[in-house]
Structure formats: structure tokens, C-alpha cells
A and B are shown apart, each in its own frame.
Chain A
Amino acid sequence: MTHTNASASDYAVSTHGLCKRYGRDTALDQVGLRVPDGAVYVLVGVNGAGKSTLFKLLMNLERPDAGTAEVFGLDTGRAGSEVRAQVGYVPDRQDAPYRSMTSARLLRHAAAFYPKWDHAYADHLTHALGVPPQQRVGGLSKGETRRLQLVLALAHRPPLLLLDEPTDGLDPVVRRRALALLAEHLADAPTTVLMSTHHVHEVESLADHVGVLRDGRLVAQMTREELRRTVRSYQLEVPDGWAPGELHAVELRRSSAGRDVRCTLVGEEQQVTQRLTASGARVRQVSTLALEDAALAFLSEDAS
């Protein structure tokens, strides 16, 4: 096997210099996403950071202005239909199609497009998520529509799930049930997940990869372990007039009260501590951050 073959198949999703503009607005800027096969990759970013655009480009629903994207080694622009056959997609929009069909009829319709559709599993999901099968799609509540979209995405057991805010509009109980079903889904068959969510803490124990999108740029991308190891909160006691100096480059967030300074810094703990000590600060405590706090640190105002 040649090197290129190996690297292409190691990633479920990989993009190279992906750019997308809408008029003057830059939605995506040189995005190089790498989602390893089998990963649960969580994409973090504020609204308008480009998450939904990225999903649409991967589905070939829109065309990039520059760059390429591959899903399991298939170019999304050249093999759009083949790519979509690998994907279960929950779109950002929360309106279901064919409003006059019942949920059951819509599911039967969708089943025709996926030869691997698992009818029994679709029934199980419909039941577990509480989607009323005989209700017209147009009469479903926002949350019920979202649940129906989840069934549509999962029921053909695709190797890749693209979930754009999958738990948006769901109440907390259903959110947890949906994520539990997702965990079981992952146990049943090898599946790669790329998801965006506003509720990062909920996927804390599911995610093993994290990417942070900020103004269309992917400012951080690493494994959960790497994030835990290299993004930590340092509590310092500093002398009067202390300046962080070169540490500024790795600083994500800082708050201070008198001589107590708390800051979030990027880097191996040992090296960061050495540099802090050299700058005259005394490190009183170092603590790891929850996934959400670590990811959000990249979005704080101080982050460069």
C-alpha cells in the first residue's frame, strides 16, 4: 500500500485549504479538517463560525470557492452521490421535508434511497425517541422534527454521521436519551461522527477529538487527550508589575484579582510551569479543564 492510499483511508473526513465566501463574507478560510476513522469529533464555534457551511460542503450541497474535501477518500465535488451514501446527515435547519406525509411514510420514502436501511432499527429509534409515526410531518413540534431527522440519519447505519447541532430544540431528557442512543449506535457498528453542538458539556464523555472554528478558521484541532494535556488552567501568585512577556503567545484567557492571576495556557504543563517560574510568577495550582471550558478558551477575546 502506498503512503497516499494509507493516509487517505486513515481519515473519514479530510479537507485541504477549504474556502467558502458568500459575497464579501468569508464563511470558511483555509480549513484543513482531519477526522480520523472511528473518531467522535466535536466541532466547537459560535453561531456563524462556519460549522453549517462546512457540513454543507461535505455533503456537496454547496461548492467550495477553493480547496477540496474528501470523505473516505472520495472527493466530495466529484462523487457527491457516493459520498452522501456514506453519510447520515442532520442539517442545521429544523424543518422536515414533505410536510403532508406522515413520519412513517417519510421514513419509508427515505428507506428507498439507502439499500442498507434497517427497518427494524428505524422502528426502534422512532419508538425510543418518541416520534409519532402517524402524525403528519407538518404537524410535528420542533423537537419531534429534530428527532425524526435523527432517525433519518441513523437508520441506514452509515459509516459517517454529520450531525449539525443534533440536540438543538430537544428538551434535556430527550437530549440525554438521544445521546445514549448515539453511544449505543457507535457500539453496534464502527461509525465516525462529526458533530457540532452548543451543549459541549453533554458530549464531554463521547468526544475523542475536538476542533474549534473561529471566524471560518480552524484555530485548534486535537484529540481529547491532547487537549486535556496541553490546555490547562494555572493559578499564579505574581509580583507587582508582573508582565507575562513571551507567554502571551500561548495565553488564551486571563482573569486577575490583586496578585492572584488565573490564566489558561497552551503547552505541556512542565514547560509552561518552567516558563512561568522564570518570569517570576509562583504557580500555586494547575488544573485540567472540562472539554467545554478548554474549547471555549480558544474562543475567548484574549486568544490570539
Chain B
Amino acid sequence: MTTTQELQGADGRTQRERPPVPRLRDVLRAQLRATGFALRVPVVLAAAFAVLATLNVVLGVISRDGVTNIHAEPSPLPGFIGALLPLAVWAREEHFGAGFLWTLPVDRRRHALIKVLAGWLWMMGGVALYALWLLVLALVSGGEVLPVESLMILSAPGRPSSPVDPALLQTVQWAPGLLIWAVPFAMATATYLCGSALVLGIHRPLRWVVGAVIVFAVASTAAHLASPLLGLGWLEGAPESVVSRLFEGRYGLEALITLRTWSLDTRATLTTGEVVQIWSAVPDLHEWVIAAALWTGAGLLALWAAASRHRERRA
């Protein structure tokens, strides 16, 4: 009604406040909602899977009248989920190019990291539910909550010759304690950070993963063929040893997601004809803590570098 007056004011120098940028906490809240929305399909699938798994366990308990214990060998499931979740978080986001996300009034690097954080919070919630589910199953069926495992360790060093003499075996009690409950959270976090860095930092992460596998195969073959020709003995198997250190080393990926329970134990036949699990060493939780710290640190660095590809300022 009185716009004539207002416009007269507008024709002169207007003194107005600049619209502010949103508070970071509001951005996080919005991204939590948007990420939660984007993750609803994987969540429904996970819920369905959980129902099936529960049924399976319950049926097992009823039929065999057994109990469900919490095992010291952790399931690598949270690790795999952590690695794959970034694909779901960023699936609808065009993070290379002029996507909607980048037109919003938030510093782009910060915005990317906030979105990663939002996905991580959802994942932590999911892992907590998973841990709770395990706990409830154990409690309801009357199983152990803090595991104590009896491991058969080969006292003589070296690879066990088959069949194994039972006299060489020694039974050790392994009780990892409360720390075992931190393992799924930490492994999921570390793999999630690495996966996020990959998804955020490169255009087509799946192509790079496939490409890396091909490069490894080619390098391995080339080293195998070239080492006798060049007289470089160390070249033979060098690519394999690098990769195996990355995956199976003391602080490798396998240590992160299984506490090395995959590589430390072997199935062996005893001279008595019995087939048992034999461990070459007891899994070391201190080493796992270092592995988790290393992978988390590497993931954080990679994530920072990846997010920096989207930074605002000119170099």
C-alpha cells in the first residue's frame, strides 16, 4: 500500500543489513536431515537384513538350545559399511560442477566436511544399533557379554607342519575386555573417512578402484617378468609385498577390520585326526589401536585434501 514511500527510500541510498550466512549448526542440522533422507533406502535394506539375521539366530537358539556369545573376533561388517556408505551419502550430489549444494551460501570446503560429518553421525547411530543388537541377543540368550576365548597357539615358531602334533599346542585365554566394543565404531570411522575422501576427491571413484587393481596386476606381472632379465631379485614380488603390507601387515586394513583374526589363525589337522583352529599369535589390541589411529589419521588427511579440491579461494 505504501510502496511509493518505500520506493522513494529505495531510490536513494539504501541502508540495509546484509543477509547473514547460515549458522554452521543449522547447516549441520539441514545436512543431517538431507543425508538421512538420502540414506533411507540403505537403512530399510539394513533393517530387513537385521530382521532376517535375528530370526536366524533365534531359530538357532531355540533348536539347539544354545546361547549367543559376543565373540572376540569382530565382524568386519561395520568396516565394509563404512567404506561403502560415502557412495550413498554423495549419490544424489553433483559435487563436481555447479551443483545445487555449491550454490548455497556456505563455504564449499566446510560444507563438504559438514556433509561428511552428517553421514558419519548417521553411521555411528547405525553402528550403535548394531552393537546394541548384538548385546541384546547375547543377554536374552544368556550368553557372555565380555568375551573370553580359548586359543590354541603353536608354541614352536614357523609354519605348522601338517598334521600337527598336539603336544606342540598350548591353550591361551584371550580376554580383550571392554575395548572390544570400541572396535566396530573405530573401524567404521576409519573406512568411512577413507571412502569419503575417495568419493569427494575424485570424479569417478569406482573407476579409480578398478584402475588401481589393473595397475597392480600389470605391475606384478611386469616385475615378475623383468626381475630375471634385469638381475634385480628384489623386484620379484615387490608389488605384492607392498600391497600385502597395506592389507595384511601389522597395521594393515585387515588388522583394522578383523584385529588380524583372519591372518593369524589357520585350520590345521592334528595327528589325532581332529581339525582345529590354530593361532600363530594372540591378536594384539594395542596394535589394533595403532592401526585404527593410523588409518583414521590417513583418512582425515585424505579427506582434507579431497575437500580442498572444492575450496572457494583462488590459490
Contacts and interface: CB of A to CB of B under 8 A. Distances in A.
Direct contact of A and B (CB under 8 A): yes
Interface of A: 9, 37-38, 56, 59-63, 72, 77-78, 80-86, 89, 91, 93, 96-101, 105, 109-110, 112-116, 156, 158-159, 187-188, 190
A101 to B, nearest CB: 7
Interface centre among A83, A89, A114, A188 (most CB of B within 10 A): A114
B99 interface: yes
B106 A113 contact: yes
Contacts of A72: 18
A159 B16 contact: yes
B19 A112 contact: no
Contact of A77 (B13, B19, B23, B312): B312
Contacts of A84: 103-105
A74 to B, nearest CB: 8
Contacts, number: 107
B22 A109 contact: no
B19 A86 contact: yes
B115 interface: no
B245 interface: no
Nearest to B22: A113
Given A61-B102, A98-B100, A109-B30, A85 B18 contact: yes
B37 A105 contact: yes
B116 to A, nearest CB: 18
Contacts of B23: 115
A81 B98 contact: no
Given A84-B104, A112-B27, A114-B105, A91 B98 contact: yes
Contacts of B203: none
Contact of A81 (B21, B34, B38): B21
B277 to A, nearest CB: 47
Given A38-B11, A97-B92, A113 B16 contact: no
Interface of B: 3, 6-7, 9-11, 13-14, 16, 18-23, 26-27, 29-30, 33-34, 37-38, 92-94, 98-108, 312-314
Contacts of A38: 10-11, 14
Given A80-B108, A112-B22, 12 more contacts: A63-B314, A81-B106, A84-B103, A98-B37, A99-B92, A112-B26, A113-B106, A116-B19, A158-B19, A159-B19, A187-B7, A190-B7
Given A38-B11, A109-B30, A114-B22, A93 B104 contact: no
Given A77-B313, A80-B108, A97 B29 contact: no
A283 B313 CA distance: 56
B312 A101 contact: no
Nearest to A97: B100
26 contacts: A9-B13, A59-B98, A59-B103, A62-B98, A80-B107, A81-B21, A84-B105, A85-B19, A85-B20, A85-B105, A93-B98, A97-B93, A98-B34, A98-B100, A101-B37, A112-B22, A112-B29, A113-B26, A113-B27, A115-B19, A115-B22, A187-B3, A188-B3, A190-B6, A190-B10, A190-B16
A82 B104 CA distance: 10
B107 A97 contact: no
Interface centre among B3, B6, B38, B104 (most CB of A within 10 A): B104
Contacts of A158: 19
Closest A-B pairs by Cβ, 5 of them: A97-B100, A112-B30, A85-B105, A190-B10, A84-B105
A79 B6 CA distance: 30
Contacts of A37: 14
A60 B106 CA distance: 12
A81 B100 contact: no
A98 B21 contact: no
B193 to A, nearest CB: 24
Given A91-B103, A109-B33, A114 B19 contact: yes
Contacts of A93: 98
A77 B314 CA distance: 7
Contacts of A78: 313
